[in-house]
Amino acid sequence: MKILIIHRNYFIDGGDSTYTIKLANLLKANGNNVTILAMKDDRNDRSLIKLVEIPNSFADNNVTRFDELKKTAKLKYGLNSIFSFDAYKITRKLVKSEKFDIIHIQNIHHVLTSSVVYALFGVGIPVVWTLHDYKLLCPASTFFLNGAICEKCKGNKFYNAAKNKCKRDSLFGSLSVMASSYLDEVMKIKKSVDKFITPSNFLREKLIEYGFDEEKVINLPNFITQEDRSTNKRGDYILYYGNFSKEKGVDLLLKICKELVDIPFLFAGSGPLEKEVATAASGKSNIIYHSFLSKVEMKNVIRGAKMIIVPSQWYENFPFTVLEPMSFGKMVIASRIGGIPEIIINEVNGVLVNNKNSLQEWVEKIKQIYYDEDKIKEYEENAYKTILKYSAEVHISKIEALYKDLTSSKDIAI
């Protein structure tokens, strides 16, 4: 089968990219002809799969952040984050010349934008879209504002994004995401895709709640492979890794560290709250901080953790930071929010905190489990077994079955 996968990049920089690259490799290993369409970036992997690239404001100006762009480049980037004519033209030309059997969209928001979806109108090729965030429902993608869950834009009230400066507290950025959301509605993007895939059932239910056709939305969890745990060494530190941000609960976690001074916490990652983490690490003996770790180093840090903590304050979809530690046979203590309870069964294969922003409950539950070696061992065993149901073999068989069903169907959205 000839497959086009569309994603914002083709190197690992988050859970969505990890999934996309692994999916592409699995599809190729099964004998499929796979092409990737992504933004131009020096970090893209060009070694194994055919890659078609679209011009990128960051790469073209030799910068990595929006605030490093010059004024004219910022304006161009802002407009392109609403609709990219480059992405539209290159996508349209590619799908007309290559005659793909199926097109599978991944994360395109703010970079490739929905312009790539509009480019697929009328081409007669089935389109599948795996949703990794909430952008089709929330202009800022997170359902998170001023430290709390926010659903003010429900009912297409996207003007609230600009009113509340939801995107990076920037009026310009918020106007851009507001405009892109209204454009999606005008262009009827919901009707232009044959099947939406949601990693969590929570996201599926949200889409239906917001007006998506339930027949078009299927839940298919992400996949992961069990790691060899023979070299695991249970240390004494609680590990947090990933994005240092408020929606991830890092500000709350720093407060937890202050309350539990006898327990070491290891932070690995970067993000908006990186300075706060570094400052806390320099003044607190129970906080260890690593801004960058190689893939091998990160695996070793996971292997050596006593447990992993995920204090998220937003609607997590199907987080890799929960799945990955469990694949090493590690227990996770996490917020009961979004898709997390679909992975962690409380006090069976991990621990869930009901009141996600309660400092008292977090402290009590950590104290309760941290010193109970028998319970930790029990949860570790169950966590390791849980991963079996998220195998690559199960996932790829369902993906390919969906592809075949759509390509054999005459009811294709155009």
Looking at the structure, do residues 192 and 287 belong to the same domain, yes or no? no
Q: In this structure, are residues 228 and 162 in contact, taking their beta carbons and an 8 Å threshold?
A: no
Looking at the structure, do residues 190 and 247 belong to the same domain, yes or no? no
Is 292 within the bounds of a domain? yes
Q: What is the dihedral of CA 89, 93, 99, 103, to 10 degrees?
A: -20
What integer pLDDT is reported at residue 412 of this predicted model?
A: 45
Is 230 within the bounds of a domain? no
What integer pLDDT is reported at residue 56 of this predicted model?
A: 77
Is 35 within the bounds of a domain? yes
Looking at the structure, do residues 94 and 181 belong to the same domain, yes or no? yes
Looking at the structure, do residues 40 and 123 belong to the same domain, yes or no? yes
Is 380 within the bounds of a domain? yes
Phi, psi of 121 (to 5 degrees): -60, 130
Condensed to tens digits (0 to 9), the pLDDT of residues 397-407 reads 999 999 999 99
Looking at the structure, do residues 212 and 243 belong to the same domain, yes or no? no
Q: In this structure, are residues 376 and 369 in contact, taking their beta carbons and an 8 Å threshold?
A: yes
What integer pLDDT is reported at residue 79 of this predicted model?
A: 78
Looking at the structure, do residues 367 and 400 belong to the same domain, yes or no? no
What integer pLDDT is reported at residue 414 of this predicted model?
A: 37
Is 219 within the bounds of a domain? yes
Is 233 within the bounds of a domain? no
Report residue 164 CA to chain centroid gap: 24
Q: How many CA atoms lie within 13 A of 59 on its CB side?
A: 14
Condensed to tens digits (0 to 9), the pLDDT of residues 150-170 reads 999 999 999 999 999 999 898
* CATH code for the domain of 28: 3.40.50.2000
SS3 36: strand
Looking at the structure, do residues 131 and 153 belong to the same domain, yes or no? yes
- Count helices and strands (H / E) in the chain: 15, 15
Tell me which residue range forms the domain holding 113.
2-223+391-408
Looking at the structure, do residues 98 and 170 belong to the same domain, yes or no? yes
What integer pLDDT is reported at residue 14 of this predicted model?
A: 82
What integer pLDDT is reported at residue 68 of this predicted model?
A: 62
Q: What is the CA radius of gyration of the chain?
A: 22
Looking at the structure, do residues 104 and 156 belong to the same domain, yes or no? yes
- What pTM, to 2 d.p., does this model score? 0.92
Looking at the structure, do residues 368 and 397 belong to the same domain, yes or no? no
- Collect the ranges in the chain with pLDDT lower than 70: 57-71, 73-75, 77, 410-414
Beta-strand relationship, 238-243 and 217-219: unpaired
Looking at the structure, do residues 93 and 61 belong to the same domain, yes or no? yes
Is 23 within the bounds of a domain? yes
What integer pLDDT is reported at residue 30 of this predicted model?
A: 95
> How many structural domains comprise the chain?
2
- And the tokens for 7? 């994603």
What integer pLDDT is reported at residue 329 of this predicted model?
A: 97
Is 232 within the bounds of a domain? no
Task: Kindly report each contact of residues 93-96 with a partner whose C-beta sits within 8 Å and lies 24 or more positions away, as own/partner.
Answer: 94/4, 94/35, 94/37, 94/52, 95/4, 95/119, 95/120, 95/123, 95/125, 96/123
Looking at the structure, do residues 384 and 266 belong to the same domain, yes or no? yes
Q: How far apart are CA 401 and CA 180, in angstroms?
A: 32
SS3 270: strand
